[in-house]
Amino acid sequence: MRAVERLEPGARAYLDLLAGCLTRELFLDQEWWDADLREWPDDVDALRERLRERGWRLVRRGDPTARAEGRDWPPTAETMVGTARLGNVVDCCVAAVLDDVPGDFVETGVWRGGATILMRGVLRALDDPGRRVWVADSFEGLPAPGEDAHPTDVGLDWSHVGALKVSADDVRANFARYGLLDDRVQFLEGWFADTLPTAPIDQVSVLRLDGDLYGSTMDALRALEPRVAPGGWVIVDDYGGWEPCRTAVDDYRADRGITAPIHRVDWTGIWWRKP
């Protein structure tokens, strides 16, 4: 049985509604994407010019399957994680509270903040009195691979990708939009290698990694996995879909002798539970 099924109907309805807003799944009929003109079969330049002259944009609908599976980078949604992986966030956080697994909730790599907003929503839905939600990100996108980068990160320079650069103030505004910005939400601003080792977090019940790269995943695991409480969860967003992330997780688990079984969420997300 999923942990969410143990909730009162009102709490469950709130979390379902919150998740549907955070992914914009509830509003896909109102969402428009700029069409990719490279796919236009004929004379793209002439079309571009005519659109520009008129001040028009060519747009297309969002794709419900891509959104459900978390395979797109949505134009306005607060998360790109998709429905199945958000459901996993809810299940782990709800189980942590209901089963008294001690510790805070953490996400390393938050983008617009959606998964951490949902974590805070779980605390509200369950009237949890003390846990905090840690929101860790550079808030300026991915790091460029350094000279000592792991081989799987070499050549993966996404540091220029503007769509991944979301400021801390924008993420705070997203929390506030849902009435969930308060002192239980703690921001760790900067590169994981600098912020996580000294972060004032004693114990973690749910650790969610979503930093894409080998280095980002390894930095987060080294700093925070040892602080996960017995019975706590480690969730990895990019394990199935990204070789650098998968290699970091496999290396870390082998190095620390972690044999807890890996459970799949969907085509890329996984989790394991600390014994």
Ligand X SMILES: C[S@@+](CC[C@H](N)C(=O)[O-])C[C@H]1O[C@@H](n2cnc3c(N)ncnc32)[C@H](O)[C@@H]1O
Instruction: Please report, as ranges, the residues that interact with ligand X according to CB under 6 A.
Output: 79-81, 107, 109-111, 114-115, 137-138, 141-143, 164, 191-192, 210-213, 216, 219
Q: How far is the CB of 195 from ligand X (least distance, A)?
A: 8
Q: How far is the CB of 222 from ligand X (least distance, A)?
A: 12
Q: How far is the CB of 163 from ligand X (least distance, A)?
A: 10
Q: Which is nearer to ligand X, 125 or 236 (CB)?
A: 236
Coil, strand or helix: which one is 206?
strand
Q: Which is nearer to ligand X, 146 or 151 (CB)?
A: 146
Q: Which is nearer to ligand X, 97 or 136 (CB)?
A: 136
Q: Which of 262, 226, 260 is nearest to 246 (CA)?
A: 262
Q: Which of 258, 110, 256, 120 is nearest to 171 (CA)?
A: 110
Q: How far is the CB of 110 from ligand X (least distance, A)?
A: 5
Q: How far is the CB of 32 from ligand X (least distance, A)?
A: 20
Q: What gap in Å lies between CA 177 and CA 86, rounded to an integer?
A: 18
Q: Which is nearer to ligand X, 102 or 189 (CB)?
A: 189
| CB of 195 closer than 8 Å to CB of 137 | no
Q: Which is nearer to ligand X, 128 or 140 (CB)?
A: 140
CB closest to ligand X, residue no:
109
Q: What gap in Å lies between CA 6 and CA 173, rounded to an integer?
A: 31
Q: Which is nearer to ligand X, 35 or 181 (CB)?
A: 181
Q: Residue 52 CB: number of other CB atoms within 10 A?
A: 10
Q: Which of 223, 245, 225, 231 is nearest to 274 (CA)?
A: 231
Q: Which of 193, 240, 194, 181 is nearest to 219 (CA)?
A: 193
Can you state the angle between helices 114-125 and 168-177, rounded to 10 degrees?
40
Amino acid code (one letter) for 244: P
Q: How far is the CB of 219 from ligand X (least distance, A)?
A: 6
> What is the sign of the dihedral through the CA atoms of 60, 64, 67 and 71?
negative
